[in-house]
Structure 1
Amino acid sequence: MSKKVIIIVLAAAAAAGLVFVPSILAGSDTGSDTTVNANVSMYSVRVDQAAEQTLQAYLEINGEIVPEQQVAVLPDAAGKVVSVKIDLGSEVRKGQIIAEIDPSKPGTSYALSPVYAPISGIVTAPPAAVGSTVTTASTIATVSAMKNFEIEALIPEREVGQLTEGLKARITLQAFPGEVFSATVIRVSPVVDPNSRTKKIILSFDVNDSRINPGMLARVKLNTRTYEDVVTVPAEAVINVRGSSYVYVMEGIDRVALREVEKGVSIDNTTEIKSGLSGGESVVIQGQQFLTNGAAVKVIGTRSQA
């Protein structure tokens, strides 16, 4: 009875086909040839070619649109605000009187002390209220220059080694979906904030646009390191086993070879191959889980058809 059961099980296995474990998992030598059972059907795979191209690394962070110049207006004398000649959003000229302070105290009487706008621009913070008492350290109003705008962004400490003036960025704004504005890093803070563990950068728009307003939230895609003329493959082509990286490379039209490679950076589903592969070679990107070194395969499509 037991012999019949064994025969039935073996027959079923033969009918269903053999499932091969990749040679790297079985501990075999990846450089040796693996004999493929002639009775086993070809495995269906999708392939793509290794390419030589330039990879651009980047960071994506949030930023805020701010005026190029913003000044807090302080009075020359302490006292009571007796008049305010501007409102939030008012346009002012440099030297224009925007408020008056009465420095008089009980038993004394002094002339009013005028408060002048130090720059031309727009009042971007609510001015002090008439009747309020101020000191020479009190802010009467905030005036912002409205000709040029900048973007302030905070970069995590782990990424600050990539920062330098002149880096290019692509800016998107919620107010203008689908539009991209270009900008350049013009200043990098010399210190890391000990509380947030971030470093501030300032970017300037390459082209001024009157639609952009201070206070808008900006999404910043900041280009950092560039990797020129490197061999790349789709990230899904790389198999990582026991700390090593491998790809299946097409040999002829119906065979694959398992090859160890040295992996570099990965950016947007594209992986750099530092050694072990040349540009133009075809690699398997789908169906590797059933393959072994030297397996017979049938190519059913490329990456674009996946």
Structure 2
Amino acid sequence: MPGETFKGTISRRSGNMNVKFRSETVEIDVSNAARRIKPGMFAEVSLVPEATEGALTVPATAVVASTERQYVIRVGDAGKAEFVDVRTGQKSSSLTEVFGDLRKGDKIVVNARNDLKQGVKVAAN
């Protein structure tokens, strides 16, 4: 059935995470009223995670983690670097959810480095 899409929901999780492969066995319930899906068939599955309410996403490279804290660097009104402490949420290969004193539309340093100092003038694009 190439090209067809069937939607389902995760109904059961094994609770046994394989750390090496970052995987877990799950069962997904899919409607099969027409009995077209047969035992032994294989499927390609795409999982779409639910976003966390109230979270903003930033490029993963914007989050700086040190031994003391996690933060992003916001470009303030005067064009100066402001460190904003954040907690991280869900992550994808390129984006990270962040929770902190950030607002939609804030300009942040995308390729943040821990050697950038608070209050230093930064160029905004």
User: Could you tell me how far apart the structure 2 residues matched to 1:206 and 1:275 are?
Assistant: 44
- Among candidates 89, 107, 117, match of residue 265 of structure 1: 89
Cross-structure match for 1:277: 102
Deviation at 1:247, TM superposition (A): 1.2
Deviation at 1:295, TM superposition (A): 1.5
Distance of aligned partners of 1:255 and 1:262 in 2 relative to their CA distance in 1, 3 Å threshold: closer
- Among candidates 11, 24, 29, match of residue 203 of structure 1: 29
3-state SS of 2:61 partner: helix
Identical-pair percentage? 25
User: Could you tell me how far apart the structure 2 residues matched to 1:200 and 1:257 are?
Assistant: 43
Deviation at 1:243, TM superposition (A): 3.9
User: Could you tell me how far apart the structure 2 residues matched to 1:230 and 1:200 are?
Assistant: 26
- Among candidates 66, 69, 73, match of residue 248 of structure 1: 73
Amino acid at match of 1:204: V
Deviation at 1:239, TM superposition (A): 0.1
2:10 pairs with 1:182:
no
The runs of at least 4 consecutive aligned structure 1 residues that moved more than 4 Å come to: 206-210, 222-226
Normalised by the length of structure 2, the TM-score is 0.64
Q: Where do residues 1-306 of structure 1 align in structure 2 (5 Å cutoff)?
A: 176=2, 179-185=4-10, 188=12, 201-205=27-31, 208=34, 210=36, 212-222=37-47, 226-252=51-77, 254-259=79-84, 261-268=85-92, 269-286=94-111, 288=113, 291-299=116-124, 301=125
8 Å contact kept, 1:256–1:296: yes
Deviation at 1:244, TM superposition (A): 0.9
Deviation at 1:226, TM superposition (A): 4.9
3-state SS of 1:201 partner: strand
CA RMSD of aligned residues (A): 3.6
- Which structure features the higher share of strand residues? 1
Distance of aligned partners of 1:183 and 1:250 in 2 relative to their CA distance in 1, 3 Å threshold: same
8 Å contact kept, 2:70–2:86: yes
Greater Rg over alpha carbons, structure? 1
User: Could you tell me how far apart the structure 2 residues matched to 1:297 and 1:200 are?
Assistant: 46
User: Could you tell me how far apart the structure 2 residues matched to 1:248 and 1:274 are?
Assistant: 13
3-state SS of 2:108 partner: strand
Listed as ranges, the gaps of 5+ residues in structure 2 are 17-23
Count of residue correspondences: 117
Deviation at 1:249, TM superposition (A): 0.6
Deviation at 1:272, TM superposition (A): 2.5
CA shift digits 1:17-50 (9 cap, x unpaired): xxxxxxxxxxxxxxxxxxxxxxxxxxxxxxxxxx
Distance of aligned partners of 1:181 and 1:264 in 2 relative to their CA distance in 1, 3 Å threshold: same
3-state SS of 1:271 partner: strand
- Which structure features the higher share of helix residues? 1
8 Å contact kept, 1:184–1:204: yes
3-state SS of 2:110 partner: strand
User: Could you tell me how far apart the structure 2 residues matched to 1:243 and 1:207 are?
Assistant: 55
